[in-house]
Structure 1
């Protein structure tokens, strides 16, 4: 997905705000639409963002700037079928999609949230990511597409068995902001159902493809017991066709660290070069004093 970035200038954000996650079957991302938000310390409330996709999908098309702001809307009570999170909640998401402590006395804590979109695609790219997360004792949200889960249920099971969190990224990776309520219900609900059928629990986090949303998207996500989020730090890993892996690796690290701030909600994808960069990236973040938020400790409001 593209980026709702924090830690960048307004001009910088607008410059990349039109590159989204379109790509081809070999994992080479091609630009689509990007977020149009301030990239200073964190995006302005209500700013819109567009999200990238690191691979093509059955019905994907180039993504223009989203039609509605993806900022969280008041959350109605979830449906009876929604599975609430359990365990102690110590963090929440703010209006800029940063992850911040519930305890205001902990505001000096340096934390980031790791997220990976558009999977599960391939064991060759997924396993190195999972191995690196294990090495650093880090947890992440894997925002999955339903059609990919259908193709690779074993990979979704692997994500869950490794203690990682599964999020909803729509069934076909389409721009939900352009869809009607019936279509949105199907795109979100089918992912909830197939994930539950595969790993026994329903997602509680939702990220719309290309950050494209409208009022129906916010409402239907909430009706399904899902916390709507985009991101506040974009790795830009989806914008790197034609460069060497080592160059992509350094570019990912530079992109993340250039925007780095406490609470950074970091957008990445299941890509070979992201997998190659991840160990060095996490080591760099740890060297700067950052730790990794466990998604299970984030309050969803449901």
Structure 2
């Protein structure tokens, strides 16, 4: 081979090798770039789902996944409105973790947004006549407005929990707002009952609590209480007693089959404690309390006949 042939062969080899090398480097960079992007993206992974605390017997508590995804029962088809429970309450939330079979026949009645001078006394009369205790999650503003009713709740042996001061979702905007709202409500409740609440139910459900809110609650000794059976009594289109009864009984049957205690969400008041005028957004919500009162005796009687017992979330 003369020097011209050698040079030609060398140039051809270089022409072939350089693009291949560049392609290899490019692929290598793409590979590592992809890895870097994946690593950086790990910080945006979703936090674990919210949990709500339920009684597990013998003073223990059990946590349940609590999601926004709901299955609508007969009466549930409302939109979320400011200052009231969001639409997902019209359905059911995921059940607590599986509990021993002995808990499958336990029911916890819970009432939110009171005390109310009209509805709450009626509910207390019904509970007393049936020998049933319940848990009332009250707002601080209603505690101040209706101290006599709150006192009666306490005196008749029902549990009382903190449900924020005014059921205002603005309390979730930052750490200071949440802590302030929590304390205002606790002070209002303690001023009437003489005892600071240890149960807390967040407005709209536990899905609204981030890790900062949870840390604040833990530091102050609160137990977070969700629910797994909704009466759908916040439906802005209105709910009949029959629909409410159906929602509750079907919900209790659903969770009891899983060996889980049923925590029923109902309401005895409106967030502001007033009586909305006809034509206002809160009017139907307030009217739904009449359905709660009419349905409650049937719910209690039916569940007792089915072998269920009742307790409070403070037990």
TM exceeding 0.5:
yes
State the secondary structure of the residue aligned to 1:115: strand
How far the C-alpha of 1:22 sits from its partner, in A, is: 5.5
How far the C-alpha of 1:18 sits from its partner, in A, is: 6.7
The answer for the alignment partner of 1:250 in structure 2 is: 242
For the Cα contact (< 8 Å) 2:73–2:247, is it kept in 1? Answer: no
Q: Deviations over 1:100-143 (max 9, x none)?
A: 5xxx4x53640111100001122x21111001111221111110
* Unpaired segments ≥5 residues, structure 1: 24-29, 45-93, 298-302
Distance in 2 separating the partners of 1:259 and 1:157:
31
State the secondary structure of the residue aligned to 2:178: helix
State the secondary structure of the residue aligned to 2:234: helix
The answer for the alignment partner of 1:272 in structure 2 is: 290
Distance in 1 separating the partners of 2:313 and 2:85:
28
Distance in 2 separating the partners of 1:287 and 1:227:
31
Q: Flag the structure with higher helix content.
A: 2
In the superposition, the TM-score normalised over structure 1's length comes to 0.65
Size of the alignment, in residue pairs?
221
The answer for the alignment partner of 1:214 in structure 2 is: 210
- The reply on whether 1:290 has 2:290 as its aligned counterpart is no
For the Cα contact (< 8 Å) 1:170–1:188, is it kept in 2? Answer: yes
The answer for the alignment partner of 2:94 in structure 1 is: 43
Q: 1:170 to 1:249 in 2, by over 3 A?
A: same
* Unpaired segments ≥5 residues, structure 2: 1-51, 53-63, 269-288
**Map of 1:150-169 to 2, 5 A cutoff?**
150-169=144-163
Q: CA RMSD in A?
A: 3.1
Distance in 2 separating the partners of 1:166 and 1:202:
9
The answer for the alignment partner of 2:47 in structure 1 is: none
Q: Aligned match of 1:259 in 245, 251, 266?
A: 251
Distance in 2 separating the partners of 1:289 and 1:230:
24
In the superposition, the TM-score normalised over structure 2's length comes to 0.62
How far the C-alpha of 1:35 sits from its partner, in A, is: 5.3
- The reply on whether 1:228 has 2:228 as its aligned counterpart is no
For the Cα contact (< 8 Å) 1:118–1:143, is it kept in 2? Answer: yes
Distance in 2 separating the partners of 1:192 and 1:180:
19
